[in-house]
Amino acid sequence: MSSFEPVKKSALPQEIITKLLSLIRGRELQPGSKLPPERELAAMLQVSRPSLREALRALSIMHVIEMRQGDGTYISSLEPSLLADDLGFIFLMDDSTFIQLFEARRIVEAGIAALAAQRITEEQLADLEVCLTKAAATIGSHQAFLEADLDLHAQITEAAGNPFLTRFMASISQLGLASRGRTVEIPGVAEQALEDHRAIIAAIKKRDPEAARQAMLAHLDHVEDGLENLIHEQE
């Protein structure tokens, strides 16, 4: 158990959580592993037992650990279905989740772009142009660009005019937010995304469904390539 290095004595429960999650991500703690008893673990981390207890409760709510009465505390199976309420942790555990998300987005959003090219109104086109201008002005500000990116994709979905697609995209909005929060910080991705958005809107404006489909696919491919390069650099 040498991996349980001391945490700052003033550590808040969140810092303890971060330390334990890093051990899980580093595979030093495996699914089903039993944690040391509370008193021993607090001593290893050099934190107070109340702070440790609060951190463990939070991890239990996240389904990262299982606190078994009379038996001890174990790392859970870490199955995605268990962790679905904490999407950020799913991404923290496995970068491949991002890749799977892009696979789904390629299938759905390419079709959405094609429908938008057929059904978009002049008013919706004007809104997209305004959104694009806002995105261009936020290059360099990760949070502002992220919000502009989300808005632009949401407007394209709305322009497709299919309530089921709108609901589907809304249902994965948290996943999209988590993935964009990671990719927007990759050097060059925001600039490329802006150019891609221009191409998507140009195709929609021409009311060319196939061109819009291909422009959306190219955009998602560019972002995914940037993410894959980042993952490889961190390995």
Instruction: Return the CATH number at 149.
Output: 1.20.120.530
Q: Judge whether 104 lies within some domain.
A: yes
User: Does residue 221 form part of some domain?
Assistant: yes
Residue 73 shares a structural domain with residue 159: no
The CB density around residue 193, as the number of other CB atoms within 10 Å, is 24
Query: In this structure, are 163 and 229 located in the same domain?
Result: yes
Domain membership of residue 57 (yes or no) is yes
* Local structure of residue 2 (DSSP, 8 states): T
- Position 1 scores a pLDDT of 44
Per-residue DSSP letter, 34: B
Res 10: pLDDT: 46
Assigned token pair, 230: 């980042």
DSSP character string of 169-228: HHHTHHHHHHHHHHHTTSTTHHHHHHHHHHHHHHHHHTT-HHHHHHHHHHHHHHHHHHHH
Whether 176 is in a domain gets the answer yes
- Compute mean pLDDT per 10 residues along the chain, 235 residues long, and list them: 54 76 82 92 89 86 84 84 52 60 87 97 96 91 86 95 88 70 77 95 97 96 80 61
pLDDT at 86: 53
The pLDDT tens digits of the residues spanning 181-204 come to: 667 777 888 899 999 999 999 999
182 within 8 A of 227, measured Cβ to Cβ:
yes
Asked if residue 24 and residue 51 are part of one domain, the reply reads yes
The pLDDT, as a whole number, for residue 13 is 77
Query: Do residue 99 and residue 130 come from a single domain?
Result: yes
163 shares a domain with 108: yes
Q: Are residues 70 and 106 in the same domain?
A: no
Q: What is the 3-state secondary structure (H, E, C) of 64-112?
A: CEEEECCCEEEECCCCHHHHCCCHHHHHHHCCHHHHHHHHHHHHHHHHH
Q: Are residues 123 and 52 in the same domain?
A: no
Domain with 33 in it: 13-80
CATH code of the domain covering residue 33: 1.10.10.10
Same domain, 105 and 19: no
194 and 155 belong to one structural domain? yes
- Number of structural domains (the chain) is 2
One domain for residues 53 and 101: no
